[in-house]
């Protein structure tokens, strides 16, 4: 019995090549704008957020944070006590929306014109975000100018 290598190549290896190399890009079928959606953990491992789409805007809410600074107050009981709006100080931090109004900009492959809330200091900042080629989500909160701000990095979980 002789093996026809051309037939083996065409019938077996070429389809495997197409499946392995090309399918992942198409199988995801995720539009570029929706790549930001999902669960993300800060690189410091102290905060996890879930980014989701609502209409044309992207938002994020807190799904976990490290509460080891005060074991007498577990994360499920912590409130937004630093909020400048007294009516919002009784809301729980866990599940709270911290990023709103991000809009995808295809030209820059980034999400811009958002508002991020800093629950520690009770401040709102302008924000923008992008995903690096390595897959890190970078979210920057800034005041008037993008270079006057702080950037947080997240990995997908």
Any idea where the domains of the chain sit in the sequence?
A: 1-30, 34-156
Query: What is the chain's Cα-based Rg?
Result: 22
Q: How sure is the predictor about 13, in pLDDT bands with cuts at 50, 70 and 90?
A: very low
Q: Are 141 and 123 in contact (CB under 8 A)?
A: no
User: Which CATH number is associated with domain 34-156?
Assistant: 2.40.128.520
* Per-residue model confidence as pLDDT tens digits over 48-102: 999 999 999 999 999 999 989 888 899 999 999 999 999 999 999 999 999 999 9
Band the pLDDT of 2: cuts 50, 70, 90. Answer: low
Q: What is the DSSP letter of 91?
A: S
Residue 2: strand, helix, or coil? coil
d(C-alpha 152, C-alpha 142), whole Å: 11
The β-bridge relationship of strands 97-105 and 47-54 is unpaired
pTM, to two decimals = 0.79
């Amino acid at each position: 019995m002789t093996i026809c290598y051309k037939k083996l190549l065409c019938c077996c290896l070429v389809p495997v090549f197409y499946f392995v190399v090309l399918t992942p890009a198409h199988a995801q079928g995720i539009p570029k704008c929706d790549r930001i959606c999902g669960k993300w953990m800060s690189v410091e491992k102290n905060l996890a957020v879930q980014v989701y789409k609502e209409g044309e805007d992207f938002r994020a809410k807190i799904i976990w944070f490290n509460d080891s600074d005060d074991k007498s107050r577990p994360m499920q009981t912590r409130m937004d006590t630093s909020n400048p709006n007294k009516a919002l100080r009784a809301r729980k931090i866990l599940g709270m929306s911290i990023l709103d109004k991000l809009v995808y900009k295809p030209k820059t492959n980034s999400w811009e014109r958002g508002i991020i809330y800093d629950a520690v200091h009770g401040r709102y900042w302008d924000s923008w975000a992008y995903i690096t080629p390595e897959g890190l989500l970078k979210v920057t909160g800034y005041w008037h100018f993008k270079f006057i701000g702080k950037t947080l990095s997240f990995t997908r979980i």
